[in-house]
Amino acid sequence: MARPHIRAFFHEPTNTVSYLVWDAASKRAAIIDSVLDFDQASGRTATGSVEAILAAIAEEGVTVDWLLETHAHADHISAAPFLKERLGAPIVIGENIARVQQVFKDVFNLAYVTADGRPFDKLVKEGDVLPLGEGVIGVMHTPGHTPACVSYTIGDAVFVGDTLFMPDYGTARADFPGGDARTLYRSIQKLLALPDETRVFLCHDYKAPGRDEYRWETTIGAERANVHLQKYPTEDAFVAMREARDRTLSMPQLILPSIQLNIQAGQLPPPEANGVRYLKLPLNAL
């Protein structure tokens, strides 16, 4: 599969891009980084955005084999459990998710979290391959933003999660627990070793200064001129910039609900005695 078919779905409330990717010959597909609608003020979830992906699946006549997560997101809630129920496909993430689960199990004091990778269905590592019709999905371990970050290569495309943004916007923050700017720099260099013509699909866009439209597709060749890499070309310079910049950033608006759910593959917490599910709000803990 030299060139997979790709449809992108932009969720403007969280600036997140989800993807439906498929092999044209076999019509076998994967969904990457899906989003569940969430109104924080009311505590209500909805599926309107992810229903658009289901409509595209029907329109294209594809069968979904995998629900891929690039990492445990801190800015939106994954719709993977909803999609798994509808489609029967397994949920996949990098094997270091267990480290992330343990950190936030402790932060939120979540007794139900096993911190061993469950309830994700498949944990992957550097060099793993998953079948997708006549092609494969390759796994690259690209930590730095989080310890569990992975990028997925499918034909001439790579899906990099939050590791990189558009070349005019920069690179991911590395200040979440387990994040590391030096590790991020090295993961970016690993991605830049791919061929220049490789298509790069991003998980977010926020519009760079002077740009009026959202964009989420670029190339490895273009990313070599990423504004952060151009201004800070050495590892030490990049790390100094990234650490200083991260100290100025506020936490994502949905970090507290997102992390609690996404370390559990997007599953809602178990109901309490009254049948209601609750999220926690730790005070002075993060």
The structural domains of the chain, ordered by start, are 5-262 (3.60.15.10)
CA distances from 147 to 85, 174, 208, 256 (A): 28, 10, 27, 18
Structure tokens at 43: 């505590």
User: CA geometry: angle at 38 spanning 33 and 42, to 5°?
Assistant: 170
CA atoms within 13 A on the CB side of 241: 17
**Among 33, 35, 13, 48, which Cα is nearest to 253's?**
13
pLDDT of residue 246: 98
CA distance 97 to 178: 11
| Model pTM above 0.85 | yes
Residues with Cβ < 8 Å from 193, sequence gap 6 or more? Answer: none
- pLDDT by residue for the chain (286 residues), tens only, comes to 689 999 999 999 999 999 999 999 999 999 999 999 999 999 999 999 999 999 999 999 999 999 999 999 999 999 999 999 999 999 999 999 999 999 999 999 999 999 999 999 999 999 999 999 999 999 999 999 999 999 999 999 999 999 999 999 999 999 999 999 999 999 999 999 999 999 999 999 999 999 999 999 999 999 999 999 999 999 999 999 999 999 999 999 999 999 999 999 999 999 999 999 999 999 887 6
Give the pLDDT of residue 284: 84
Element (H, E) at 22: strand 16-22
